[in-house]
Chains A and B, each alone.
Chain A
């Protein structure tokens, strides 16, 4: 059976993450580090130590905004941003409940929007997210103001060849 480290490295398919020597440049430059449960370089160490449950359960993987500062600055070219994508994908696949559940609900609403129309209609996607997250009232007045300004068109063109888009979703389903 593969170790957690082997699993992650295989999916990143780049520089092995154990090349990290913990200079902490990633963490120093990470705009979200202050709100993360574990700092980016610490996640690497935890993967090496086989702490799968803790890593996939952590808020860190969902708070990473994919700004790519870490991989840009890493002296060893460890692709931490890609590593976060890999960890999120693993967490979803293994059904680990996300600590930041609204982040996941947002992604789901967004992808559902693409699948339904080929393109995102922002107001419809937001309504979908709000109904599912139960976060009904935040941004309400801003939403109304945007609507009045004509920034949120309720009707917008779809992709005509929706079948092609749906097929992409079906064929990439894991």
Chain B
């Protein structure tokens, strides 16, 4: 399966372990990723908070690049980029005047032929749970994660078109297939505070402490995410008394699938997951 790949800025920086693990797992599952040629930033929160047209035009440039390359599908692992791509597609499909203006700005019309996919959905639905199960060589016995989807994969529902937006389960199912004992909690889609982490760190600390407290109450020993912003906040803003190791779901997939890399990726985490993993005999 050939799929276009949009890493976004974080995956080339603070989230490089996400980039590397997504690529390694995709390759093992037979997905051939080709990075979008000369991509640019999606604009993230800062564009849509200050300039609506800019927030549509920035992802639109990338969609046009993907379309021009003849690709039908693009994998977008960063939840923030995923949301901005989906949002731009939604506005372009529903507002003809805006569509004409954006086409003019980009200099080439977007035909609307690209499907934007997040790796959770792509792995769960397109690759399929059975194919993933067949690749598991080391079950993650003893690992008790809560799955944390955050905001931008699931909301708003009619834009993101992600399953079950108040209580999503795809990530839970993937982790269960790896042999982890997934814990249930009601904070799967609660907000971590996003980019306020820089400008209002105090607010984000409170939100993250609450998430970690609730994860502990659910008897989890780690938190699993699919978003570089959530990862940064959960991994750096939790208080010492509540913090837990945090993983990108693809790191755990790689570990269970016997793909080399996890030990190096874990070194990039701020909350060191190696004591937990060695204690469980998983490393």
Chain A residues proximal to chain B, CB less than 8 Å = 13, 31-32, 35, 63, 65-69, 71-72, 81, 85-86, 88-89, 92, 100, 102-103, 105-108, 110-111, 113-114, 118-123, 126, 129, 133, 138-139, 142, 145-146, 149-153, 156-157, 159-161, 164-165, 167-169, 171-172, 174
Contacts and interface: CB of A to CB of B under 8 A. Distances in A.
Contacts of B191: 31-32, 65, 67, 69
Given A110-B44, A171-B105, 7 more contacts: A13-B95, A31-B207, A107-B45, A114-B41, A121-B9, A146-B14, A168-B57
B198 A126 contact: yes
Interface of B: 9-10, 12-14, 16, 38-41, 43-54, 57-58, 61, 95, 104-107, 151-152, 155-157, 165-166, 190-191, 193-196, 198-201, 203, 207, 236, 267-268, 270
| Ranked 10 nearest A-B pairs via Cβ | A68-B155, A110-B46, A67-B191, A120-B9, A102-B199, A107-B46, A67-B151, A31-B191, A172-B54, A172-B53
B252 to A, nearest CB: 19
Contacts of A139: 201
Nearest to A118: B40
B230 to A, nearest CB: 11
Contacts of A167: 105
Contacts of B268: 149-151
Nearest to A112: B46
Contacts of B43: 111, 114
Contacts of B39: 119, 159
Among B9, B48, B57, B61: residue with most chain A CB under 10 A: B9
A85 B48 contact: yes
B49 A66 contact: yes
Contact of A159 (B38, B52, B201): B38
B193 A31 contact: yes
Contacts, number: 162
A152 B15 CA distance: 9
Among A35, A157, A159, A168: residue with most chain B CB under 10 A: A168
Contacts of A133: 199
A85 to B, nearest CB: 6
A147 to B, nearest CB: 11
Nearest to A133: B199
B46 A85 contact: no
Contacts of A120: 9-10, 13, 41, 44
Contact of B57 (A71, A149, A172): A172
A169 B267 contact: no
A102 B197 CA distance: 11
B210 to A, nearest CB: 9
A145 B270 contact: yes
